[in-house]
Amino acid sequence: MTGNLLLGGGLIAALAAMIICLAQKIPSARTVKIISIVSASFITAASLLLWILLFENDFSVEYVASYSSTTLPTIYKISAFWAGQQGSFLLWLLIHAITGAVLTFRRTPAASLGIYFLIQSVLIFLVLAKSPFAEHSAQVFEGVGLNPLLQDFWMAIHPPIIFVGYALLSVPFALSLGTLLTEPASKSWLEEARRWTLAAWSFLGAGIFIGGYWAYKVLGWGGYWGWDPVENSSLVPWLLAAVLLHLINLARKKSAVLAQTHLAAIFTYSLVIYGTFLTRSGILGDFSVHSFAGTSIGVTIALANALVLIGGLAILFAKAKQLPQGELYKSYSEPTFIILLSCLLLIFIATIVWIGMSMPLLTQMVGQAAAVDSDFYIKSTSPIALALAALMIYAFIKFGRAISLGGKIAHAGFLMMLAAIVISAQGQTVTQEFQINQKISVAGHDVTYEGQVFYEDERQKFYVYKVDGEIVRALTKLRGNGEDAAREPAILKTFGGDIYIAPHAPQIDDVQELMLTKNLFAMDGELGYIFSDAHIDYDENNKPTQATAAITITDGEVEEVIHPTIIVTPDGGSSKSLEVFNGKRRVRLTGISGDLEKARLEILPTLDKLSAMPVTATISTKPYIWLLWLSVTAICFGTLITIREKGDGRREK
């Protein structure tokens, strides 16, 4: 409740700032600054409260119970903030609110600030519509925890960087609409919009490629981009932001380009909201491994999207006659034509990607929902990307002197990226079953499988390989029952590229289940079991926290007494396996009856047996893939340099 009250305070302040800015041509700058800081402070306080709840393991809050646990490491306690739908919206809002406070100190026009705080109010409504502070419907004592796939450094930083890009793209949108409302023919907003768009484009691009690197490093499917609709939902606004950047630069010199620039600003931010709607409405539930489950918030986001797009276009069309008219270019050989043609090619690519990612929605409107496969994107965008690369090379050769240093680095990085995508796809792939110490040759590399190595807590294990004499390990995170939860590939990095080994989950067929009745003898074939006692621990509210059994195991000569436990969790319970008779057996308690008269036990293969099992792995070579990571770094670095340069390429003093 406290969190929602804080968000309500932020909403009231944002609405007040919006009304003041839109109602007065020259509002009190000091008043707007104070109100914007108040709104940002309320939202920051709500965000800090959520972090406190996460660190205090307050599982009475549904969001905390769903994405955190008492055993979650600190770094992932932090990232649990944005692991779910509700928290990620709050993160977006937090970045947006802080940016809004900054804007009030940058002499931003009142009308633009009014539009910005309108968006901020809409974002607060979205957070309140699916609040991260909602109470849990049941009492739980241990959280589900963060998905093992998300417990990775790159995925911990990926969402914040993406949402910085999303939040910053609202600035050129607000500057555009604010200018249309007051001085449609003005170009005074372009320099400020250029800076914010450059920053947004850099952050959004970095976030996209960090997500790609995470997929490559963690998911183990052999690639970094699967044309998943959720991936594409960030790619489309990134491509259009590139179009917006180039149009802004043209509009500063040619007023006739202002209409197209305003249009690009509106569509770029509208597609940010649209992508959010698509991924969080549940429409992609059957077509994407990343999408959120469907909730009623989808309708709210759709309304927000309609407000941004239809409202923006309505203002543009209403002011269209007041925008400068004129000739865009005089000849096909001048830079303006080359830039406009490049923008058109980017729009074609963005449109194709938009159609592909929207196919489940579009087909659902007329019948059975369906999706396109990756071939659709590759075959349709590759010729356009090739034409775009050729055009960029031509522009470099003919007009290179006019491009700023940062621009040169960013554009060279983009060309390098296209080349690296093609080169790295030329590797070889082999799927092979490995016996222990078996060696095979793949693309001139010797690969030997050396077995599995388990951590002492049995929550992680490694598949160990030797590649050309060097040891590489594929990490697998384990569930409480010992099954694979998340598998990461083993990667040997060389100058010529990566050798990428993705082990498959081994088939374990010899798990035996025993149902034990109290004080009755049972056998698994070699060992005997007697379930003698059980008890359940309760908390101060008389709710169960864990169940413990006392089981005697004997081989006929020696007896060993174990006390396996089940920890109560929101999804039922979890338990660890125990080794008995010096590793001769591994057992795991999986259930105790309510009357404490029966216990269910799993008899698992020993760790030595698991380690010696044959394993199937897919081995790929990725020629010079490091060029891809280098190119992305160059794109972001060059873009950030450009922020400090004037539009003509000169560095700011």
Q: pTM for the complete prediction?
A: 0.85
Burial code (b: 16+ CB inside 10 Å, e: under 16) for 304-314 equals bbeebbeebee
CB 398 within 8 A of CB 630: no
pLDDT digits (tens, 9 = 90+) for 21-43: 988 766 668 889 999 999 999 99
pLDDT digits (tens, 9 = 90+) for 213-270: 999 988 888 888 888 888 899 999 999 999 999 999 999 988 899 999 999 999 999 9
pLDDT of residue 649: 46
DSSP structure class, residue 120: H
Residue 571 clears pLDDT 60, i.e. is over it: no
| Tokens coding 375 | 């071939």
Q: What's 466-505 look like in SS3? A: EECCEEEEEEEEECCCCCEEEECCEEEEECCEEEEEEECC
**Closest alpha carbon to 596 in 636, 536, 643:** 536
| Tokens coding 211 | 């997500």
Residue 195 clears pLDDT 90, i.e. is over it: yes
CB 240 within 8 A of CB 184: no
pLDDT of residue 530: 92
Q: Which residues pair with 548 in a beta bridge?
A: 535, 565
pLDDT digits (tens, 9 = 90+) for 413-451: 999 999 999 999 998 888 888 888 888 888 788 999 988
* Contact residues for 147 (Cβ-Cβ < 8 A; gap 6+): 83, 486
DSSP 548-612: EEEEEEESSS-EEEE--EEEEETTEEE---EEETTTTEEEEEEEE-TTSSEEEEEEE--HHHHHT
Mean per-residue pLDDT of the chain: 87
CA atoms within 13 A on the CB side of 223: 9
**Angle 297-298-304 (CA atoms, 0-180°, nearest 5)?**
90
> What angle do the packed helices 170-182 and 190-214 form, to 10 degrees?
160
Residue 456 clears pLDDT 70, i.e. is over it: no
pLDDT of residue 650: 47
Arithmetic mean of pLDDT, 70-88: 89
CA atoms within 13 A on the CB side of 145: 18
pLDDT digits (tens, 9 = 90+) for 457-508: 667 888 999 999 899 999 888 765 566 777 889 999 999 999 999 988 777 7
Helix, strand, or coil (residue 249): helix
CB 201 within 8 A of CB 165: yes
Separation between Cα atoms, residue 640 and residue 651, nearest integer Å: 12
Q: Where are the alpha helices (DSSP H) in 367-434?
A: 374-399, 405-424
| Tokens coding 262 | 């305003």
| Tokens coding 367 | 């019948």
